[in-house]
Homo-oligomer: A and B are copies of this chain.
Amino acid sequence: MEIPVRIVLVEPTHPGNIGATARAMKTMGLSDLALVAPKHFPSEEATARASGADDVLGNAAVTATLPEAIGDCGYVIGASARLRGSKWPVIDPRSCAESIWRRLADNRVALVMGPEHSGLNNQDLGRCQEIVHIPTNPEFGSLNLAMAVQVLCYELRMCRLGSSVAAEETRAAPLASAEELEGFHEHLERVLAAAGFLHPVHQKQLRLKLRRLFHRARPDRNEINILRGIVAALDPAAGHTEGRGPA
């Protein structure tokens, strides 16, 4: 999935950050990088830090000014480490991603990052329709440039993937049926009674607790068979024949 959003670094001073930015972009599926008056570029350090994203570096556009880098873009967002609440509309990276995807079909979009130490100046911020701010620790807002790009690109990707790619572990077998679960619990309870572990007083409470615990684990059929095998192997009523393997 290619994410056609341009990342623009304005006057980056550390080549390492240029490389790390290229790498961050590529891990999230972005490849359009523009550099405005970079202090050192190309550079070995940038290539080293890109560690494999050389193509992004190689295709990077280098311009003298910001207007040249964003001239063809219909939607331009500037990143700011400071909350300029009074002066500019500020959005967080998640709203930024949503706002970008809403416009991507019809517009070229650029995310503009300022120089490491000063950030974007007011003239450059004035060229942006919106300002994105990553909510950092008020006592320590020193977010590295490439780290900020990573977070912004990550949100773009998450937004595209839909809020969650959370996958339930795929099972080797279907979940155990209620009947199979019941069979296991009855078996376990028989064996615990035989071992004198379940006595009348605690019985009801304990049964409930064990059911809650094992149901939370959502055992599949294989796992229930393993558990049945264990209970059988540990049944004091049954003699323990050596070398019995899992069911």
Interface residues of A (CB under 8 A from B): 1, 20, 23-24, 26-29, 51-53, 83, 85-95, 133-137, 140-144, 146-147, 150-151, 154, 157-158, 161, 163-170, 172, 191-192, 195-197, 199, 201-202, 206, 209-210, 212-214, 216-219, 222-223, 226-227, 229-230, 233-236, 240-246
Contact = CB atoms under 8 A, between A and B. Distances in A.
Contact of A147 (B150, B212, B245): B150
A107 B208 CA distance: 24
Contact of A197 (B154, B210, B213, B233): B233
A133 B154 CA distance: 12
A226 B52 CA distance: 52
B24 A147 contact: yes
Nearest to A133: B165
A170 B212 CA distance: 12
A154 B134 contact: yes
Given A92-B158, A169-B90, A140 B244 contact: no
Contact of A142 (B51, B142, B164, B222): B51
Contact of A244 (B87, B196, B245): B196
Contacts of A29: 137
B230 A192 contact: yes
A233 to B, nearest CB: 4
Contacts of A24: 144, 147
Contacts of A164: 92, 94-95
Contacts of A142: 23, 26-27, 51-53
A191 B235 CA distance: 12
A169 B88 contact: yes
Contacts of A154: 93, 134, 151, 154
A197 B230 CA distance: 7
Given A26-B137, A151-B154, A192 B245 contact: no
